[in-house]
Amino acid sequence: MKYIDDFRDPATAKALVARIRRDAGDAPVRLMEVCGTHTVAIARGGIRPLLSGAVTMLSGPGCPVCVTPDGYIDAAIALGMDRGALLASFGDMLRVPGKSSSIEKEKGNGLEVRVVYSPLDAVTLAAAAPDREVVFLGVGFETTAPAIGGAIRTAAERGVGNFSVLSSVRTIPEAMGVLAADPEVRIEGFLCPAHVSVVIGTDAYRPVARRHGIPCVVAGFEPLDILMGISMLLRQRKEGVARVENEYSRVATAAGNRKAQDLVRDAFVPCDTGWRGIGVIPGSGLRIADRYASFDAEKKFGVPVVFAREKTACRCGDVLKGKILPVDCPLFGKACVPEEPYGPCMVSSEGSCAAYYKYGAP
Amino acid sequence: MCLGVPAKILETGDGTAVVELGGVRREISVMLIDDVSVGEWVIVHAGFAIEKLSEAAAEQTLALFREIAES
Ligand code: SF4
């Protein structure tokens, strides 16, 4: 398909790999792909082995399913089981482990859940079932935030009062700031997410580049985009500069999508929030604004999402911080496999453990 | 879950548009972007067009790739 196949040409990929190898130093350069979609594209495209010895790609915290804390799953289960709500969710949330169960497991005990493609589908579901409370499990990053805000606004305009959202929306630059400041992680360049950047604008990474001296390149999700993004990071490093560059100029702009930003500002307020495996990051969450309080499931049903540092053998936190690779986790491929995930990074197709498992470790 | 994909606008409606996604026609919301017309490309994420795709910028990037491939 146009705009996909164009960015997959093998001969160009080869030339880009050669260019990356020329620019790399003696020790592998530590770069982090922040976004789960990049993680999957890198694994599927076999990019890690192509660059071995020159570049080490660390998988960051940009898989929304993986960083959703178990307290969120527990709250969702409580809404479905104790309050009798009909849950509407993206598919890959169902098998995420909470403290003692998952949505999938509770289905056997009577929990009702519908998998939806868009938050708007959940509004449609609620409108068609006026005698049920429909709760949309609103997880995601800046890309999904406008869609969730759009669904809330649509429900408000249409008077769909039996619709609400259990919000767990997070913002990426704050998490990058925490990782950039972590001396154990030692990131030498960020490959920034394509579609988060489309919404927030590539300028949003300037504080990270400036404050921490780490080059940032926004890149698309096709193999050539990724290789070009990596090459641009290495060029910056070679020149000894740290700025924000945009490989994905066909869609992302410096200022981002103002309409989407306005909608997010209308529907949400920044808050501190907990990330599974990482901890609470100040200002990295979006809670539903008070003007839409009746659409906020936490308030409507008095079921708060409680964040507690989980005690678990899962090393997802270290994986998400780039401290270890999935294969370094003792449970990887043994007690933890996609069919029976022990940790959240093995659940979502975007999780780095699942990507390593499916496409083979380099 | 966070998959955004390019899609071509096939029809436009009131705040909505029809695109083809993975061989299936689907109605999407265009409330997040300025007026779109049939034939334009957008990035679709979770049922919303989140931005238009600039064909001119795409061609520039592809031209740069060709240059690198030939060098
Ligand atoms: S392999 Fe499983 S248990 Fe280990 S870090 Fe990954 S998700 Fe967690």
What is the pLDDT, as a whole number, of residue A307? 87
What is the pLDDT, as a whole number, of residue A360? 77
Residue identifier of the C-alpha nearest atom 3 of ligand 1? A314
Distances (CA, A) of A359 to A58, A162, A168, B10, B50: 16, 42, 29, 35, 30
- The model's pTM: 0.93
Residues in a beta bridge with B11: B18
Encode pLDDT of A9-18 as tens digits. Answer: 899 999 999 9
Which among A335, A325, A322, A318 has a CA at the least distance from the CA of A355? Answer: A325
Encode pLDDT of A108-167 as tens digits. Answer: 999 999 999 999 999 999 999 999 999 999 999 999 999 999 999 999 999 999 999 999
Interface contact B33, partner A, CB < 8 A: yes
What is the pLDDT, as a whole number, of residue B1? 58
Encode pLDDT of A265-292 as tens digits. Answer: 999 999 999 998 889 999 999 999 999 9
Work out which ligand 1 atom sits closest to the CA atom of A351.
7
**Which of B30, B32, B42, B62 best probes binding to A when mutated, by most A CB atoms within 10 angstroms?**
B32
Looking at this protein, which amino acid is placed at residue A145?
A: A
User: In chain A, at which residue ranges do the beta strands (DSSP E only) sit?
Assistant: 29-35, 55-62, 86-89, 113-115, 134-140, 163-170, 189-192, 216-218, 244-246, 268-275, 279-288
Question: Under a CB-based contact definition with an 8 Å cutoff, are residues B1 and A65 in contact?
Answer: yes
What is the pLDDT, as a whole number, of residue B48? 95
Domains contained in chain B, number: 1
Which among A200, A206, A153 has a CA at the least distance from the CA of A180? Answer: A206
Q: Cβ–Cβ of B54/A199 closer than 8 Å?
A: no
Q: Cβ–Cβ of A251/B47 closer than 8 Å?
A: no
Question: Under a CB-based contact definition with an 8 Å cutoff, are residues A16 and A231 in contact?
Answer: yes
| Min distance B46 CA to chain A CA atoms (Å) | 5
Average pLDDT, chain A: 93
User: Band of the pLDDT at A361, cuts 50, 70, 90?
Assistant: low
| Min distance A225 CA to chain B CA atoms (Å) | 9
Query: In which residue are the tokens 């429900």 written?
Result: A155
Q: Which helix (H) or strand (E) holds A261?
A: helix A258-267
Domain range spanning residue B48? 5-70
Residues in a beta bridge with A332: A336
Q: Cβ–Cβ of B48/A251 closer than 8 Å?
A: no
Encode pLDDT of B25-51 as tens digits. Answer: 999 999 999 989 999 999 999 999 999
Rounded Cα distance between A39 and A245, Å, is 20
Rounded Cα distance between A65 and A311, Å, is 18
Encode pLDDT of A65-115 as tens digits. Answer: 889 999 999 999 999 999 999 999 999 899 998 888 999 999 999 999 999
How high is the ipTM of this complex?
Answer: 0.93
Q: How many CA atoms lie within 13 A of A139 on its CB side?
A: 30
Write the CATH number for B65: 2.30.30.140
**Which of A3, A115, A169 best probes binding to B when mutated, by most B CB atoms within 10 angstroms?**
A3
Encode pLDDT of A22-63 as tens digits. Answer: 999 888 999 999 999 999 999 999 999 999 999 999 988 888
Interface contact B45, partner A, CB < 8 A: yes
Which among A280, A284, A291 has a CA at the least distance from the CA of A270? Answer: A284
Residue identifier of the C-alpha nearest atom 1 of ligand 1? A332
Name the residue among B2, B66, B71 with its Cβ closest to that of A36: B2
Encode pLDDT of A199-258 as tens digits. Answer: 999 999 999 999 999 999 999 999 999 999 999 999 999 999 999 999 999 999 999 999
Instruction: Look up residue A308 and give its two tokens.
Output: 């507690």
